[in-house]
Amino acid sequence: MLSTEHERLLVKVSRYYYEHELTQSQISKRLRLSRQKIQRLLKQAKEQGIVQITIRPVIGAFPDLERKLEDRYGLQEAVVVETTNFEDQFVVAREVGVGAADYLMRVIQPNDVIAISWGGSLLGMVNALYSGPRRSDLVGIKVIQGLGGLGDPNKEVHAADLTRRLAQVFSGVAILLPTPAVAGTREARDAYMEDPYVRQVLDLARSAKLAVMGIGAPRSDSILMREGKIVTEQELNNLIKQDAVGDMNLRFFNSEGVLVDSSLDQRVIGLTLDEIQKIELVVGVAGGSAKIPAVRGALAGNLVDVLVTDQMTAQQVI
């Protein structure tokens, strides 16, 4: 049983520290007690319930889901944002893109080299960065196109356009990969890879400190099928028959995150899964009901270090 005088002291020390924001050294001098004694009193005040610290939940913040994802899959960080329509991939891509923009703006450092893929979520990220606050300390940023172009190069979802616009946000340099994402044949892919500039761009992408990758799904209504007109329905069906659940940089993987060997993979011009995994920090961006198997596969294969997704996808994955 604590004496009334001791309880009074606990309250006084707690008020000085938490309400008046005095340091422990200042309280020590004021009360003529050792700093060690002040530390013990503050600890005891918590144990006795005199001090109760609460963290107010914020609407749209999901720290518990983030922690569960990080613990289960060994992620460096999970960023979970709120989506208003889990079934609408356009809506989810826009909202998850905002979360990716906030994350990237927080972690990017001067002189960083960033490799980027393509897709709706990355378009959402770049759009959010354009309309958001800028950082004045960022210099020497390079943004590398990690996958050749797919579809109409005038469209904003095209990898080259995303690369240019992301570089503009950071007043950096855009380094483009002047090839299609998928060559017509393996021999054509090999010919592109012999070009000195193409090799130089891919070498620089491999040396990136940070990779921002959309996580796709093998669906007939995906951006890949709508925009590319290169991957056929038959190729897509063959990938699905080989248990492909998702892709990063058009490198399709199964539910364990293992590369699915296919004729398509042999025609892709861009970073491979192995090369992406060797980059220091790989950020995967995806969400929505159609992406759940793809996100699970990417996590199972340790393909990403950071995941940016929505709260419904996070719950389903967990």
Q: What is the model's pLDDT at position 202? A: 98
Residues of the chain with CATH 1.10.10: 4-47
Cα separation of 221 and 218, whole Å? 9
The β-bridge partners of 81 are: 310
Rounded to 5°, angle at Cα 179 from 174 and 183: 150
Q: What is the model's pLDDT at position 190? A: 97
Contact (Cβ atoms closer than 8 angstroms) between residue 301 and residue 276: no
Look at 268 and 155; give whichever has higher pLDDT.
Answer: 268
**Tokens read off for 138:** 């960022």
| Class of domain 4-47 as given by CATH | mainly alpha
CATH fold of 63-317 reads: Rossmann fold (3.40.50)
* Amino acid symbol at 71: D
Residues of the chain with CATH 3.40.50.1360: 63-317
Range in 40-49, 94-103, 127-136, 187-196 with the lowest mean pLDDT: 127-136
User: For residue 166, is pLDDT > 60?
Assistant: yes
The alpha-carbon radius of gyration of the chain (Å, integer) is 25
Q: What is the pTM of this model?
A: 0.82
User: For residue 57, is pLDDT > 70?
Assistant: no
